[in-house]
């Protein structure tokens, strides 16, 4: 590809199932749908970890979580490992970020950007320290916020996203021309539709009369039984605060409305790009760090290996990108890091697994070592199969060709024993689950001690979600 400018827009916790262009019958995302029509939409893109900090650290470095040891929301990127922003800046490109980074955020950290506007990093440079404690199930103190804040209104997150969008539009219209002759990269990182599920009324009302079904496998008798899911549900006891079906639907309306809110911000940013006369010389990427279970199987938030949580939207458009195309190849967010370098003329060696727009394919691994998990979890997506390996628990197996909604776990079916064993061996050629789990636990124990021990961490309290710049975390 000819080197071009690049606009990267990342949402937070946007499940790929919750866009019109991905087939959702109710969610209104006209700007993203139009972007997909003039570009390439990827149907099998995954996060390297269904948790904010590990996913964003892996995206920055183009490397898997286990390699950079970004295990959880308290082991944040500090700039020590080369990122795509470092490499492009060193090669003479202007690389600007606006919005959420979720890095460590120390004043002395060099994260590789030429400039960063209103960056949101982990709380106090420490982050979610409670998530380091994984030898027990600790009920999170702010779990009631998922249900309690759902509904119409404004939140610190919608205000922050509006500010991010305004800043991006201003830079494109008024400042972009002063940054040299090499292609630039603008990374616009929004925080919605991550909870709180409080959506501006104008967007919430779009779904006021929508016939919203209850989430799949939501009834108590339908929910799957697995110790990993039990650990997560006991830690993030979100669902215990949903008392009625209307409570559940109110939360889903809030999430859908936030998807439309984000779509509107994307539309405004893309219009600014056109107004600046940059549309024909700029490529565009839209994606998210991970998804959200959104009530499926009684689960909320991320942190599981189900498609709602681990699958991400990925749309690429612009010069030399096929229009109206659907790419079914397996992709990872780290492959997007590789594409960013290739698209702007940078050296992509050491980043990602495969070229994003190529016909080649390689199996994808996602991993989780964060709060609510006594056991490490590793997802291997290979062909039609999803194999989920746990360091301490029995595996799961899904046939995503015949069962895309993951309604039936095939791991214990005798007729699929050989498939399961083949996938297990394939995973073992790529990593050692026991060794990775033990390294994560050792690093987490060390960090717990650095922070004064588990009791000191628990006394610090819980805050539910990271506040944007200028807003104090509300501990409980």
Q: Which residues contact 170 (CB under 8 A, 6 or more apart)?
A: 272
Q: How far is Cα 446 from Cα 441, in angstroms, rounded to an integer?
A: 9
What secondary structure letter does DSSP report for 311? B
pLDDT band for 148, please (50, 70, 90 cuts).
very high
Mean pLDDT, range 96-112, rounded to an integer: 98
Report the pLDDT value the prediction gives residue 474, as an integer from 0 to 100. 86
- Mean pLDDT calculated for residue range 423-430: 98
What's the number of CA atoms in the CB half-sphere (13 Å) around residue 296?
Answer: 19
- Report the 10 Å Cβ neighbour count for 146: 24
pLDDT tens for each residue of 343-352? 999 999 999 9
Q: Tokens 């895309």 identify what position?
A: 404
DSSP state letters, 152-165: ES--HHHHHHHHHH
Q: Are 318 and 356 in contact (CB under 8 A)?
A: no
Cβ-in-10-Å burial (0-12, 13-18, 19+) of 343 comes to: buried
Average pLDDT of the residues in 2-27? 98
Query: For 177-199, what is the mean pLDDT?
Result: 94
Whether pLDDT at 91 is above 90: yes
* pLDDT for residue 179 is more than 90: no
The rounded mean pLDDT for the chain is 97
In this structure, the strands spanning 151-152 and 185-193 are unpaired
Residue 224's pLDDT is what? 98
DSSP reduced 3-state for 43: strand
pLDDT at 248 over 90: yes
What was the pLDDT predicted at 94? 97
Q: What is the pTM assigned to this prediction? A: 0.98
Statement: residue 133 has pLDDT above 90: yes
373 band by pLDDT with thresholds 50, 70 and 90: very high
The whole-number pLDDT of residue 177 equals 82
Give the pLDDT of residue 280.
Answer: 95
Query: In this predicted structure, what is the pLDDT of residue 288?
Result: 98
Query: Is there a contact between 2 and 283 (Cβ–Cβ < 8 Å)?
Result: no
CATH tag, 5-460: 3.40.720.10
Whether residue 44 has pLDDT greater than 80: yes
343: its two tokens: 């698209």
Across 108-137, average pLDDT: 96
Average pLDDT on 41-66 reads 98
**Structural domain spans, the chain:** 5-460
Residue 367, CA distances (Å) to 66, 250, 388, 400, 443 in order: 8, 31, 9, 19, 16
Q: Which two tokens stand for residue 387?
A: 């194999």
Is pLDDT at 441 greater than 80 in this prediction? Answer: yes
Section 233-249 average pLDDT: 96
- pLDDT number for residue 125: 96
Position 476 confidence tier, pLDDT thresholds 50, 70, 90 = confident
């Amino acid at each position: 590809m000819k080197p071009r400018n690049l606009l990267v827009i990342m949402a937070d916790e946007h499940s790929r199932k919750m866009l019109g262009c991905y087939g959702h019958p109710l969610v209104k995302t006209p700007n993203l749908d139009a972007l997909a029509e003039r570009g390439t939409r990827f149907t099998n893109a995954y996060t390297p970890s269904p948790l904010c900090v590990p996913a964003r650290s892996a995206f920055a470095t183009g490397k898997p979580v286990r390699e950079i040891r970004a295990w959880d929301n308290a082991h944040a990127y500090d700039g020590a490992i080369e990122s795509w922003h470092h490499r492009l800046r060193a090669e003479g490109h202007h690389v600007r970020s606006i919005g959420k980074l979720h890095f460590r955020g120390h004043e002395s950290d060099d994260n590789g950007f030429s400039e960063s506007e209103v960056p949101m990093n982990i709380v106090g440079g420490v982050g979610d320290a409670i998530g380091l404690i994984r030898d027990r199930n600790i009920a999170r103190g702010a779990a009631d916020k998922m249900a309690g804040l759902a509904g119409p209104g404004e939140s610190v997150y919608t205000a922050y996203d509006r500010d991010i969008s305004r800043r991006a539009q201003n830079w494109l219209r008024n400042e972009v021309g002063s940054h040299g002759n090499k292609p630039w990269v603008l990374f616009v990182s929004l925080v919605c539709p991550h909870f709180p599920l409080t959506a501006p009324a104008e967007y919430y009302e779009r779904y006021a009369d929508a016939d919203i079904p209850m989430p799949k496998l939501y009834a108590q008798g339908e929910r799957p039984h697995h110790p990993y899911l039990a650990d997560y549900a006991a830690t993030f006891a979100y669902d215990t605060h949903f008392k009625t079906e209307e409570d559940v639907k109110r939360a889903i309306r809030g999430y859908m409305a936030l998807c439309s809110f984000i779509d509107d911000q994307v539309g405004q940013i893309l219009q600014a790009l056109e107004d600046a006369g940059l549309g024909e010389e700029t490529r565009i990427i839209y994606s998210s760090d991970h998804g959200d279970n959104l009530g499926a199987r009684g689960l909320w938030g991320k942190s599981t290996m189900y498609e709602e949580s681990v699958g991400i939207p990925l749309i690429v458009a612009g010069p030399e990108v096929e229009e109206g195309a659907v790419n079914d190849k397996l992709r990872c967010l780290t492959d997007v890091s590789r594409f960013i370098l290739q698209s702007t003329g940078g050296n992509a060696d050491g980043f990602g697994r495969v070229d994003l727009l190529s016909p080649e394919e390689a199996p994808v691994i996602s991993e989780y070592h964060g709060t609510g998990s006594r056991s490490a979890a590793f997802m291997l997506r290979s062909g039609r199969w999803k194999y989920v390996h746990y360091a301490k628990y029995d595996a799961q197996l899904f046939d995503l060709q015949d069962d895309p909604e993951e309604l039936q776990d095939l791991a214990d079916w005798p007729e699929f024993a050989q498939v399961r064993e083949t996938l297990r061996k394939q995973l073992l050629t790529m990593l050692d689950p026991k060794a990775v789990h033990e390294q994560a636990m050792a690093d987490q124990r060390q960090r717990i001690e650095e922070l004064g021990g588990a009791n000191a961490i628990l006394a610090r309290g819980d805050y539910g979600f990271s506040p944007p710049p200028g807003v104090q975390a509300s501990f409980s």
